């Protein structure tokens, strides 16, 4: 614009020069286009370097914190302050990724980072196959952070990118990052196949205990029940889904039928079949609890089945 305005000013009082300037428009525009292109390419290159540097700084900072080494000075201390952390910051850690391990993790990480920075900021980075975020929170807890993250994941899920993100309980300082990371990973694994934000604080004590059970707990499951769960999980999970619905319906077979959209006779038949294959009494709470624990341990994805809202009043009579 400056170049063109100067040409017009210099030729304004000279008709012959004005005609020459008009004839040179094509060449002037080529100069402007070349300059604009060079400037744009330089800008993009500079932005790429800045993003790469920012990603590297975030990754190094997260690795330090996960190793229990909060930086005390230097550039990483500056990075902490830029991310909204102060000496007294309480923190929440998040761990996530796509349900099927596909999709561009950089897109997810930046979307989560932008959502966090709309409030108290934080740092988000890609670490191997997962996305890790460390966020400062207020004394009121994690509710405002979760409220910012949930719409972002919901939008991604609606666009075909199914993201599962677990978050820890609130911890008192950055020294607790390793412990909070383990909590976030556990929260995610408790609902691994279900997209969305899963806070450890939302788990019941039972769900928490089952999620963190070790290999010994699995060995305590009787071979008969072990075989039933594995065979149904390898098939279509029909009986596992029925069992989970039965528990959520307070051991009421008719309510179970309504929950899974089958005729009550079908629900009764499935429960009888479960009892026959496992040797458990489906009217006995302790027996049903044993089966539920086995399902939670051996087929966690089936146990996390989300029952859809009813679309009609019709029932199916399938087995």
Average pLDDT of span 105-115 = 74
Q: Is-above-0.75 flag for pTM?
A: no
Mark whether 43 and 141 lie in a shared domain.
no
Of 211, 231, 251, which closes a domain? Answer: 211
- pLDDT confidence of residue 313: 43
At 20-66, the pLDDT tens digits run 777 777 787 888 888 888 888 777 777 665 555 556 777 888 888 88
CB 58 within 8 A of CB 79: yes
At 188-219, the pLDDT tens digits run 887 766 888 889 888 877 877 877 767 888 88
Residue 247, judged by CB atoms within 10 A of its CB (0-12, 13-18, 19+), counts as middle
Q: Return the higher-pLDDT residue of 246 and 7.
A: 246
Mark whether 129 and 151 lie in a shared domain.
yes
- pLDDT confidence of residue 311: 43
Partners of 167 in beta bridges? 94, 199
Mark whether 198 and 224 lie in a shared domain.
no
Mark whether 185 and 228 lie in a shared domain.
no
Task: State how many domains the chain has.
Answer: 3
**Mean pLDDT over all residues of the chain?**
82
Average pLDDT of span 146-159 = 84
């Amino acid at each position: 614009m400056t170049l063109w305005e100067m040409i017009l000013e210099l030729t304004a009082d000279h008709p012959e020069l004005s005609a020459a300037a008009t004839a040179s428009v094509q060449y002037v525009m080529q100069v402007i286009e070349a300059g604009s292109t060079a400037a744009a390419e330089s800008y993009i290159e500079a932005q790429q370097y800045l993003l790469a540097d920012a990603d590297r700084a975030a990754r190094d900072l997260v690795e330090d914190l996960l190793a229990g080494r909060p930086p005390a000075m230097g550039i990483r201390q500056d990075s902490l302050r830029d991310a909204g952390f102060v000496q007294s910051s309480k923190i929440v850690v998040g761990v996530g990724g796509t349900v099927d391990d596909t999709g561009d993790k950089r897109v997810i990480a930046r979307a989560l980072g932008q959502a966090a920075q709309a409030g108290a900021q934080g740092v988000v980075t890609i670490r191997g196959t997962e996305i890790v975020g460390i966020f400062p929170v207020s004394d009121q807890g994690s509710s405002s952070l979760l409220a910012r993250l949930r719409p972002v994941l919901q939008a991604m899920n609606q666009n075909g990118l199914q993201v599962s993100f677990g978050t820890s309980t609130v911890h008192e300082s950055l020294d607790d990052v390793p412990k909070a990371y383990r909590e976030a990973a556990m929260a995610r694994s408790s609902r691994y196949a279900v997209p969305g934000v899963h806070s450890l604080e939302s788990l019941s004590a039972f769900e928490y205990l089952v999620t963190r059970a070790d290999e010994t707990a699995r060995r305590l499951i009787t071979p008969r029940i072990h075989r039933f769960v594995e065979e149904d999980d390898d098939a279509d999970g029909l009986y596992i889904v029925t069992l989970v619905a039965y528990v959520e319906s307070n051991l009421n077979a008719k309510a179970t039928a309504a929950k899974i959209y089958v005729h009550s006779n079908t629900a009764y038949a499935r429960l009888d079949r479960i009892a026959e294959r496992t040797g458990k009494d489906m009217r006995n709470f302790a027996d049903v609890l044993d089966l539920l624990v086995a399902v939670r341990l051996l087929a966690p994805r089936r146990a996390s089945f989300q029952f859809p809202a009813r679309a009609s009043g019709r029932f199916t009579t399938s087995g």
